Amino acid sequence: MEEVKKQTNPYLQAFVILLPSILALVATSATNVCQPNIAGYFGATQYEANTVITSYIIANGIMLPTTGFLAKLFGKKMFFMYCITFFCLGALFCILARDLHMLILARIFQGIGGGCILPLCQAMLLDIFPDKKGLAMALFGVAAMFAPLAGPFFGGYLTDNWSWQWVFIINIPLCLISLALIKFFVPKDEPVKEKYNKKFDIVGFAGIAVAMGCMQIVLDKGEQFNWFDTTWICWLTGISIFSFVFFYVWELEYKYPLIDIRVFKNKNFLFGTSISSIINVLLYSTLLLVPLFSQSLIGYSPSASGLTMLPRAVVCLAGLLIMGEIAKYVENRILTALGFVIMAAAAIWMSCLNTTASMYSIVLPNLLLCFGVSVAFVPITALSFLTLPKNKTADAAGLHALFKNIVTAISTSASSTFIARGGQVYQNNLVEHLAYHNPAYRVHLSALQHKFMMIYPSVVAHKKASGMLYKQLLQQAKLGAFYDAFLCLAMLAMLTIPFLLLLKTKSKKASA
């Protein structure tokens, strides 16, 4: 086996490992665009169809903490193949689903397989390139950043040209190809022979499962049921917080923990993971806000809105590959700070968009944002794992992915709520101007009424003119909410930069 390992090109191994990781991440975002089609196919509401997306995310999050334990129990390669098999079977069950409940169960099954693929990919890339963590994280970023951005485009294309089932059908042959490639090109690693590997921490797993499940339900249904005005939302929030605290304390005290949570004692890993999560906040919040802006305020179709986001994926892919090489020569903290400055500038640029913005003016700040993400992602992820010993990478990768998953879910829900509530605040402040004692309002109302009187009677024309002015007020109120949201993201990016000084740039091994 050693001969195979020496003969196998590490870049070929990296490609083989990245392919299923990209599939698992595309499955997260590709269903976003075909949600209306799924709802129509099964005769369900939008909120019911949304469970198809959230069930996959919940299953993903629950499985993340088990990555380290199961990777040691089976070996990384074997467990990776098991995950791909589960993911492939889940995709098959999604195709065969005859009602929405079966589809949701199939998505949970698919999420169980897909949940551990990304942290396993990260840990295996770090093993393949032990002395080139920047390069390893650049390749990992291809999956972590490119796939979620490209997912809506591919999902929309398959749905528009064939059907929503093709979002799942395409996974099956690609998964089978991945299994064959991993079998022949990735060297086998032996399971870690430790006593605690034979004991599965059922209590710890139940704690994180309850915490993640309740949290995701609260984030998905909170806006629909007016958040904490609803009793069961308050109960689920309390249960989720208690379960997270219980999981943390249990994993610290239990003799055979599900995951070594003490890796957070490593300062680089703690602060690096937190800063890396801020990148996810900026990336995924804008991934939600920009299409929402272009559809609700400019009137773009879903396909046109998805097209404005595609260049993000291309720039992110090219930037990550380039930064993997640049990170060898430039100090990582400087690169990360530069990336956050670029992201802040892009968010400020987005705050200048208005209702007459062209596609060109929407795409450009998005390109700048994703270039900033590429500049910051590679060095900060490398710094996060820089001072960790090799035997801790699987546990650390699982916790890294779990922490980012939680922060991303919260920030995405918060962004949506911010727009809804921010728009209401602006509406309350602006509505006083739609009063008859306001001369400007009377002038505009009269002008519109005369235009409508060319077609309608005077009474109808007056109502339509009033309605149009109120519609413009709602549009301006929502525009103000978007303006504030983008500025808040820019401020968050700038406030993160000083915390980079807390990170070490040399490992203990290198210092010695």
Predicted pLDDT at 1? 37
Q: Tell me which range, 186-195, 308-317, 482-491, is most confidently predicted by mean pLDDT.
A: 482-491
Predicted pLDDT at 196? 46
Asked whether residue 471 carries a pLDDT value surpassing 50, the answer given is yes
Average pLDDT over every residue of 288-297: 80
Determine which of 334-343, 359-368, 485-494 has the lowest per-residue pLDDT on average. 359-368
Asked whether residue 425 carries a pLDDT value surpassing 60, the answer given is yes
Pair 493, 282: CB distance under 8 Å: yes
| Calpha distance 207→347 (Å, rounded) | 37
Predicted pLDDT at 63? 82
Average pLDDT over every residue of 309-337: 79
> In the numeric block, which tokens belong to residue 137?
């994280």
Q: Tell me which range, 205-209, 346-350, 470-474, is most confidently predicted by mean pLDDT.
A: 346-350
Pair 95, 166: CB distance under 8 Å: no
Handedness of CA 501, 503, 505, 509 (dihedral sign): positive
Q: Tell me which range, 147-151, 249-253, 445-449, is most confidently predicted by mean pLDDT.
A: 249-253
For residue 438, which phi and psi values (nearest 5 degrees)? -90, 115
Number of helices and strands in the chain (H, E): 22, 0
| Calpha distance 391→124 (Å, rounded) | 12
DSSP 443-459: HHHHHHHHHHTTTS-HH
State the alpha helices, DSSP H only, in 294-331.
Answer: 302-326
Q: Tell me which range, 118-122, 236-240, 356-360, is most confidently predicted by mean pLDDT.
A: 236-240
Determine which of 20-24, 127-131, 372-376, 484-488 has the lowest per-residue pLDDT on average. 127-131
264-512 shares the fold of 1-200: yes
Pair 402, 65: CB distance under 8 Å: yes
3-class SS of residue 170: coil
Average predicted confidence (pLDDT) for the chain: 81
Predicted pLDDT at 190? 66
Determine which of 120-129, 147-156, 349-358 has the lowest per-residue pLDDT on average. 147-156
Average pLDDT over every residue of 176-205: 75
Average pLDDT over every residue of 396-424: 81
**Which has more confidence, 80 or 329?**
80
Q: Tell me which range, 83-97, 376-390, 427-441, is most confidently predicted by mean pLDDT.
A: 83-97
**Which has more confidence, 101 or 45?**
101
The CATH superfamily holding the domain 264-512 is: MFS general substrate transporter like domains (1.20.1250.20)
Asked whether residue 503 carries a pLDDT value surpassing 90, the answer given is no
What confidence tier does 235 reach under pLDDT thresholds 50, 70, 90?
very high
Predicted pLDDT at 507? 56
Determine which of 148-157, 204-213, 237-246 has the lowest per-residue pLDDT on average. 148-157
Determine which of 96-110, 313-327, 340-354 has the lowest per-residue pLDDT on average. 313-327
| Calpha distance 71→399 (Å, rounded) | 14
Average pLDDT over every residue of 271-284: 88
> In the numeric block, which tokens belong to residue 346?
């892009």
Average pLDDT over every residue of 20-48: 78
Predicted pLDDT at 424? 83
pLDDT tens-digit map of 145-188:
777 777 777 777 787 788 888 888 888 998 899 888 888 888 77
**Any idea what DSSP says for residue 265?**
G
**Residue keyed to tokens 């397989």:** 113
Predicted pLDDT at 249? 87
Predicted pLDDT at 197? 52
| Calpha distance 168→92 (Å, rounded) | 7
Pair 24, 118: CB distance under 8 Å: yes
**Which has more confidence, 243 or 433?**
243
Asked whether residue 511 carries a pLDDT value surpassing 60, the answer given is no
State the alpha helices, DSSP H only, in 224-266.
Answer: 231-253
Q: How many Cα atoms occupy the beta-carbon half-sphere of 485 within 13 Å?
A: 33
Average pLDDT over every residue of 354-369: 86
Instruction: Report the amino acid identity of residue 386.
Output: L
Query: Which pTM does this prediction carry?
Result: 0.76
Q: How many Cα atoms occupy the beta-carbon half-sphere of 370 within 13 Å?
A: 30
Predicted pLDDT at 291? 79
Name the nearest CA neighbour of 15 among 172, 182, 149, 188.
182
Asked whether residue 494 carries a pLDDT value surpassing 90, the answer given is yes
CA–CA distances in Å: residue 248 to residues 205, 261, 396: 11, 7, 15
Average pLDDT over every residue of 262-271: 84
What confidence tier does 444 reach under pLDDT thresholds 50, 70, 90?
confident
Determine which of 22-36, 112-126, 263-277, 296-310 has the lowest per-residue pLDDT on average. 296-310
| Calpha distance 394→383 (Å, rounded) | 16
| Calpha distance 36→33 (Å, rounded) | 7
What confidence tier does 467 reach under pLDDT thresholds 50, 70, 90?
confident
Predicted pLDDT at 242? 93
Which of the four CATH numbers 1.10.3720.10, 3.40.30.10, 1.20.1250.20, 2.40.37.10 does domain 1-200 have?
1.20.1250.20
Radius of gyration of the chain from its Cα atoms, rounded to whole angstroms: 25
Q: Where are the domains of the chain?
A: 1-200, 202-255, 264-512
Pair 51, 102: CB distance under 8 Å: no
